[in-house]
């Protein structure tokens, strides 16, 4: 009888674990839309929406374009929603991508990147916000 009573709570606990697992799949790759990131209404100092902050620390897949004028041989570049990169003065309009095991070579085509994602205001030595979204990848896709 005791076991029977325990069964519903065990099932409930299991279901909860599954639900939590689905909400925060730390090991899975999340598909993130650059459009969603770009359309956040945000100014330096503002709080970011919870659903955007939830990407912090996640492994994500995101597609976009290398900003025109990216210098060759660098260890980073900005990923924008089109090759023009127009209007990317806004911090929510680009993802700063760091390469851990590669150097930049400009490619005007679409890039699909997978790596670890970071969301927070990163300031320079003068207190200017330099980036809001950052991503670390090993290499550029060939």
Partner 1 sequence: MRRARALLLGSCLLTCLGLAAPLVSQEAEPVDAEVAAKAEKYLELAQTGRIPVRPQAARRLIGLGEPALERVRQACGPEGSKLAGLGTHLVEVLPEFGDAELRAWSWRSLRDLDFPWRPAAARGLAVTAVEAEAGDYWSLLDDHLAPVRAAAIEALGRVGSGDELQRARLVDHLQREGDDIARRAGVLLLDDWGEPGYLIWLVEDLRRTDAYFQIPFGEQARYQSARALEKRLGDLHGYDPGTSPLEKASAQAIEAIAATVLERAGGELPEVLFRAAEPIEGNVIGLELRSCREGTFFLSWSRDDVLHFGQAGRHEWRLEAGTVARLEPALAACLAPLEDERFWGAAGCDLEHLRLVDREGATRSYLVSKGPEAVPELRPEALDRAVALLVETLPETLSPSQSDGQLRDDVRRALLSIGGPLE
| DSSP code for 91 | G
Exactly one of 8, 45, 73, 109 binds partner 1 (CB under 8 A); which one? 109
Selection from 91, 101, 64, 69 nearest residue 80 by Cα = 64
86 is a site residue for partner 1 (CB under 8 A):
yes
116 is a site residue for partner 1 (CB under 8 A):
no
CB of 98 to partner 1, least distance (A): 15
Per the CB < 8 A criterion, the answer to whether 136 and 100 are in contact is: yes
Per the CB < 8 A criterion, the answer to whether 59 and 116 are in contact is: yes
Cβ-based nearer residue to partner 1, 50 or 126: 126
The C-alpha R_g of the chain, in whole angstroms, comes to: 19
Exactly one of 8, 45, 69, 73 binds partner 1 (CB under 8 A); which one? 69
45 is a site residue for partner 1 (CB under 8 A):
no
Q: CA-CA distance, 79 to 88, in Å (whole number)?
A: 10
44 is a site residue for partner 1 (CB under 8 A):
yes
Q: Identify the sign of the CA torsion 44, 48, 54, 55.
A: negative
CB of 119 to partner 1, least distance (A): 15
Exactly one of 58, 85, 97, 135 binds partner 1 (CB under 8 A); which one? 85
Exactly one of 1, 7, 35, 45 binds partner 1 (CB under 8 A); which one? 35
């Amino acid at each position: 009888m005791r076991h029977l009573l325990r069964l519903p709570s065990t099932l409930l606990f299991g279901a909860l674990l599954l639900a939590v697992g689905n909400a925060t799949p730390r090991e899975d790759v999340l598909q993130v839309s650059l459009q969603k990131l770009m359309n956040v209404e945000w100014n330096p100092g503002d709080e970011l929406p919870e659903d955007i902050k939830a990407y912090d620390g996640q492994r994500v897949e995101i597609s976009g374009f290398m900003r025109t004028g990216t210098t060759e041989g660098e260890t980073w570049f900005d990923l924008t929603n089109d090759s023009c990169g127009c209007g990317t003065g806004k911090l929510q309009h680009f993802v700063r991508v760091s390469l851990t095991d590669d150097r930049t070579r400009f490619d005007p085509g679409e890039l699909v990147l997978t790596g670890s994602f970071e969301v927070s205001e990163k300031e320079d030595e003068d207190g200017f916000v330099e980036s809001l979204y950052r991503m670390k990848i090993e290499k550029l896709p060939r």
